[in-house]
A and B are shown apart, each in its own frame.
Chain A
Amino acid sequence: MSRIHVTTTVNGDTVEFLADPRETLLDCLRDHVGLTGSKEGCGTGDCGACSVRLDGTLVCSCLVLGVEAQGRTVETIEGMATGGELHPLQRKFIEHAALQCGFCTPGILVAAKALLEKNANPTDTEIRYWLAGNLCRCTGYDKIIRAVQDAAAEMRGAA
């Protein structure tokens, strides 16, 4: 199987790896780039644990081939905090205990950040629909919605 050389930008850094064309972007991030924050819950686009941004668009990295990332921009959970400073969403998830096992959390944080960039003041319903592709087996979702609302309020300067 011939491997393909891929050059891409991940969280602002230029990254190169050799990908088997069958490998997903999720596999490549985890196994070749060493970024294991994005998780595989299903591998079939159902759970959202692998959520990343590809050229700014929220996607499931398990439904993108690694070779498709050539020349593009990828953002993962590892790029969310700035230096040692957690993103408001990350802080609010901890404050509200919006996670238990944490397996869904990276994907939900990446997805929620994309929402708040588009809509700084979403309703609970808008958050629930936006995150409908992010499954969580632990929290029952309520704390997640509250954490996103609280982070949104802080980011609007209202909290």
Chain B
Amino acid sequence: MRYHAPQTFEEAAQLAAQAPGVTRFLAGGTDVLVQLRAAMVRPDDLIDIKKIPGTAEISRTADEGWRIGVAVAGAQLGAHAGLKADWPGVVEGMELVGSTQVQGRATLTGNLCNGSPAADSVPGLVAAGAVAEITGPTGKRTVAVEDIPTGPGRTSLTKGEVISALLLPPRGAHGGDAYLRFIPRTEMDIAVVGCAVSLTVEGATITAARVVLGAVAPTVRLVPDAAKAIIGTALDDAALAALTKAAEAACSPIDDKRGTIAFRTEVAGVLARRAARIAYDRARGGKQ
């Protein structure tokens, strides 16, 4: 295995495009090193992108959104007051990933590219409308985060392409987001179901919303019908009932030791209601 530590994303993309064998990008390493160890992958070329300037930084964009470097670890997100104030749901999703030690290394981009349908940080990113900036051998493009995973362990990135940053849109006034997951214990487990909601309000009325489910389909799933169920409402009982139905209808989970199809489907509705409530309270500026 050859180890590369390029100084720019263009160089990283060229290396990957020209590599004859198996290539892996290394950011936090909390998935890649486990795969190496288990001999699930045997890369010929490992491209460490952490030496590229800016990859460990969180910065404001010109439009008052955020640019998150691909090597920013979970612990850094949790310690960033400004980002947390704008996008608490994105941050709380990432903070659920792994132990304190894993938080010292694991990244949003890595969690996204690992392609797990149960990835805790991805629903929050999708709900937020986050965009991935991709650098490839022929230049840069941007793609909505929900279009990156294509199935368990698979992404839409092509040979030579690497995510060079994640971009969060401006939060704007009267917005709130939240992420909840169900696990059978309190810590250190993989989501049986996850749900993120992001919304904006005008007075008591929801004017825009995005509802996203994790671990109930081959990929994290954006559920437009669930958003429709609460837009134009004050999150009253009828809206919550419609939200529950839409969330349940979007589920096509697997049956496994973590949860049955019926259980996962029911929990998806419950978490959608609860996450919507938290996001709504946050958007209305106060109590959580």
What does the 1/0 interface line of B177-191 toward A look like (CB < 8 Å)? 000000000011000
* Nearest chain B residue, comparing its CB with the CB of A62: B33
What does the 1/0 interface line of A115-155 toward B look like (CB < 8 Å)? 10000000000000111111000000000000000000000
**Chain B's nearest CB lies how many Å from the CB of A8?**
14
Instruction: Determine whether B263 belongs to the interface, using a CB cutoff of 8 Å to chain A.
Output: no
Instruction: Determine whether A22 belongs to the interface, using a CB cutoff of 8 Å to chain B.
Output: yes
Interface residues of B in 203-219 (CB under 8 A from A): none
Complex formed: what's the CA distance from A64 to B100 in Å? 15
* Nearest chain B residue, comparing its CB with the CB of A111: B100
Sort chain A's interface into a size bin: 20 to 34
If A43-B37, A59-B105, A132-B188 touch, whether A64 touches B99 (CB-CB below 8 Å) is no
* Nearest chain B residue, comparing its CB with the CB of A54: B104
- B99 proximity list for chain A (CB < 8 A): 45, 48, 132-134
Instruction: Determine whether A68 belongs to the interface, using a CB cutoff of 8 Å to chain B.
Output: yes
Complex formed: what's the CA distance from A133 to B97 in Å? 11
Complex formed: what's the CA distance from A133 to B28 in Å? 17
Interface residues of A in 83-142 (CB under 8 A from B): 111, 114-115, 129-134
- Pair A44/B101 contact, Cβ less than 8 Å: no
Complex formed: what's the CA distance from A43 to B1 in Å? 19
Residue from B3, B100, B102, B188 in contact with A4 in the complex, judged by beta carbons closer than 8 Å: B3
Chain A CB within 10 A, most for which of B33, B36, B46, B101: B101
- A115 proximity list for chain B (CB < 8 A): 100
- B48 proximity list for chain A (CB < 8 A): 65, 67-68
Instruction: Determine whether A79 belongs to the interface, using a CB cutoff of 8 Å to chain B.
Output: no
What does the 1/0 interface line of B100-136 toward A look like (CB < 8 Å)? 1110110000000000000000000000000000000
Instruction: Determine whether B73 belongs to the interface, using a CB cutoff of 8 Å to chain A.
Output: yes
- A28 proximity list for chain B (CB < 8 A): none
Residue from A24, A68, A132 in contact with B100 in the complex, judged by beta carbons closer than 8 Å: A132
Instruction: Determine whether B29 belongs to the interface, using a CB cutoff of 8 Å to chain A.
Output: yes
- Pair A58/B101 contact, Cβ less than 8 Å: yes
Interface residues of B in 74-111 (CB under 8 A from A): 75, 98-102, 104-105
- B36 proximity list for chain A (CB < 8 A): 22
- Pair B104/A58 contact, Cβ less than 8 Å: yes
- A131 proximity list for chain B (CB < 8 A): 100
Complex formed: what's the CA distance from A45 to B35 in Å? 11
- Pair B98/A65 contact, Cβ less than 8 Å: no
- Pair A22/B1 contact, Cβ less than 8 Å: yes
- B46 proximity list for chain A (CB < 8 A): 21
If A44-B37, A133-B98 touch, whether A63 touches B30 (CB-CB below 8 Å) is yes
Chain A CB within 10 A, most for which of B28, B38, B98: B98
Residue from B26, B33, B187 in contact with A132 in the complex, judged by beta carbons closer than 8 Å: B187
Interface residues of B in 21-63 (CB under 8 A from A): 26, 28-30, 33-34, 36-38, 46, 48, 50
* Nearest chain B residue, comparing its CB with the CB of A1: B1
Residue from B2, B3, B33 in contact with A63 in the complex, judged by beta carbons closer than 8 Å: B33
Chain B CB within 10 A, most for which of A44, A59, A62, A68: A59
What does the 1/0 interface line of A23-54 toward B look like (CB < 8 Å)? 01000000000000000000111001001001
Sample of 15 A–B contacts (CB below 8 Å): A21-B1, A21-B2, A21-B3, A22-B36, A43-B37, A45-B99, A45-B101, A48-B101, A57-B104, A59-B104, A60-B101, A63-B28, A130-B100, A133-B102, A133-B188
- Please report A residues at the B interface, Cβ cutoff 8 Å: 1-2, 4, 21-22, 24, 43-45, 48, 51, 54, 57-60, 62-65, 67-68, 111, 114-115, 129-134
